[in-house]
Each structure stands twice: as structure tokens, then as C-alpha cells.
């Protein structure tokens, strides 16, 4: 495959600064060379233009920096759509999870897409349910048609980008009450840490993949590094204890890649300011490699 690396250095969707440096940290971890070593062709498209926070204003405390996030999302959507239309695989590196409002939308342009959202959070809030006003906690809801019109319809779309019943959230363990109501009403699948602990990652992934892969043109994987336990991934903006192990996250990426239906991927929320010797960025690269075909060990 040709892999198109698309950087999105945004930290407007979150409270903590620093994830805007995530794309640089991931590239510094030899992302391009390691993908090329797998046999893929790689083209680094550089970074999508993103204004810094000092250039933006909070006009609505329930939708912080929305006036800057919407144009960014349009640019990301265009970059991802262009990549897929050319027959390539977009690998979007961030940056906070608000970028997925654009990336998943671009992947879903003129096609039906199932989404696997690996995250400690469901990102299914709206302006009515959010306790923080941070848009990185609203991205999946917006893609499913919930929330502020300017996020739900970046242009003039009349339908949700994604069918909520074609969404599976993996590794969730920090959900707000209003967000839980939104998820129940929408019908999205949530495989939280309790289910993973009870039934194992393989069983949960098999169920999630079966849910999102039927009657679609492809699967989009959006991986938030805070899905991992902070012991493994310290460099994230919103760490939550009791998360995925490093091996569970690898297995998730491997199994999703093995479906043959993966058409694009986000790797988000790497915060080098909070990291230890770039450990989280190195993990981000490893997980991308697992989705793109690398196997740690498959026996003799």
C-alpha cells in the first residue's frame, strides 16, 4: 500500500496543552522508516494547517474554540478523502481527538464506514451534556449526528456521517452520565474495560468487528493512546487508570488489520510534554505498524 501520513497538530479540543506536538514526537520515533521496512510506500503529506490557541477565542464555553476547530476539521476531511480516493491509506497523527470529526468524515465521503474507537472515553458528549466544553469529548457524537449543527454538518450534509450502530468503542472506562444516555439512545456498542476483563480482548474484538464490518465499504480505526493504562503510555493529556495493556492494544490493531477492511487510521492524544523518553510516541508507531501488518510473533 501507499501510506499517506497526515499530521494534525491540534490541542484546541482539550484542556491540557501539548498534544499539538504529538505529530512531531511520532515522526521522531521513526514512523516513516518503520512503515517502509514493512514493505509499504510512504508519503508524508506534512501537517494540516491548525491555528494556535492564542489566535482563537472561546465564544461559547460549552463549545470551546469551535470557530477554529470547524475549519480545521474541513481541511482534515479533505486530506483524508483525497488520500482514499487515490487508493491510498491515510494515517492521521495528532493532536487531540477533535481531529477525528474531520478524518472519519473524509473516510466516509461517498462510502459507508464502520468505526472502531479505541479510547478510555467515548467522546459522545454534546454541548448539553459536556462538563468541560472540550470538543475532543464530542467528536464521535458529532459523527453520529448528535450535537451542535456546525460539528454535525461541517458543510451542508443532511444525514449523520456514521450510523451509530456501526460504531464500537473499545476500552472505555471514564464516561459522563449524559454521555451514557446519548450512547444508549444512539445504539452504539461499548466494550468497556469490564467486558474486556471478563471475556478477554479476542472475544470483545470479534464481537466489535462483526458489528461494524457488515454491510460497509470499510473500517476506520481511531486509536487514542489514553486507552492504555498510564503505566504503559504516560504521555497523554487525559490519563485514566486501569486501562489496556500494551499487548491488548497490539492485539486490537492486529485483529482489525487482519479483517482486510481497514481503510484508514487515527493515532491521537500523544503529549510529549508529559511523556517519558518519548515512550508513548514509540508505542503509537508500534500500534500503527500492527494495524499495517507487522506481527510481533506468530509462531514457527
Of 97, 179, 248, 266, which one is the catalytic site residue? 97
Of 4, 11, 119, 179, which one is the catalytic site residue? 119
CB atoms within 10 A of CB 260: 8
Please count the CA atoms within 13 angstroms of the CA of 133 that sit on its side-chain side: 11
Of 96, 226, 229, 275, which one is the catalytic site residue? 226
Of 136, 229, 254, 275, which one is the catalytic site residue? 136
Q: Does the annotation mark 269 as catalytic?
A: yes
Q: Does the annotation mark 231 as catalytic?
A: no
What is the separation, in whole angstroms, between the first and last Cα of the chain?
26
Total residue length of the chain: 300
Of 96, 121, 163, 248, which one is the catalytic site residue? 121
Of 179, 224, 229, 266, which one is the catalytic site residue? 224
Residue pair 79/106 in contact (Cβ under 8 Å)? The answer is yes
Of 4, 123, 148, 174, which one is the catalytic site residue? 123
Q: Does the annotation mark 123 as catalytic?
A: yes
Q: Does the annotation mark 197 as catalytic?
A: no
Q: Which residues are catalytic?
A: 97, 119, 121, 123, 136, 224, 226, 269
Amino acid at each position: 500500500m501507499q501510506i499517506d501520513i497526515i499530521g494534525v497538530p491540534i490541542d484546541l479540543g482539550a484542556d491540557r496543552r501539548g498534544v499539538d506536538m504529538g505529530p512531531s514526537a511520532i515522526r521522531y520515533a521513526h514512523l516513516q522508516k518503520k512503515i517502509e521496512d514493512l514493505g509499504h510506500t510512504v508519503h508524508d503529506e506534512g501537517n494540516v494547517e491548525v491555528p494556535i490557541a492564542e489566535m482563537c477565542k472561546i465564544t461559547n464555553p460549552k463549545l470551546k474554540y469551535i470557530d477554529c476547530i470547524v475549519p480545521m476539521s474541513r481541511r482534515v476531511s479533505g486530506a483524508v478523502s483525497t488520500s482514499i480516493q487515490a487508493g491510498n491509506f491515510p494515517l492521521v497523527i495528532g493532536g487531540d481527538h477533535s481531529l477525528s470529526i474531520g478524518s472519519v468524515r473524509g473516510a466516509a465521503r461517498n462510502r459507508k464506514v464502520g468505526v472502531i474507537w479505541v479510547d478510555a472515553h467515548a467522546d459522545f458528549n454534546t454541548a448539553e451534556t459536556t462538563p468541560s466544553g472540550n470538543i475532543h469529548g464530542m467528536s464521535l457524537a458529532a459523527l453520529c449526528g448528535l450535537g451542535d449543527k456546525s460539528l454535525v454538518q461541517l458543510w451542508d450534509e443532511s444525514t449523520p456521517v456514521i450510523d451509530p450502530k456501526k460504531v464500537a468503542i473499545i476500552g472505555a472506562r471514564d464516561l459522563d452520565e449524559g454521555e451514557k444516555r446519548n450512547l444508549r439512545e444512539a445504539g452504539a456498542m461499548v466494550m468497556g474495560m469490564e467486558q474486556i476483563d471478563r471475556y478477554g480482548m479476542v472475544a470483545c474484538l470479534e464481537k466489535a468487528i462483526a458489528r461494524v464490518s457488515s454491510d460497509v465499504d470499510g473500517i476506520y480505526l481511531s486509536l487514542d493512546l489514553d486507552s492504555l493504562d498510564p503505566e504503559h503510555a504516560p504521555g497523554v493529556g487525559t490519563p485514566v487508570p486501569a486501562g489496556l495493556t500494551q499487548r491488548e492494544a497490539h492485539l486490537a490493531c492486529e485483529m482489525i488489520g487482519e479483517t482486510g477492511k481497514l481503510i484508514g487510521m487515527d493515532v491521537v492524544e500523544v503529549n510529549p510534554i508529559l511523556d517519558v523518553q518519548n515512550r508513548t510516541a514509540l508505542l503509537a508507531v508500534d500500534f500503527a505498524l500492527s494495524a499495517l501488518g507487522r506481527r510481533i510473533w506468530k509462531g514457527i
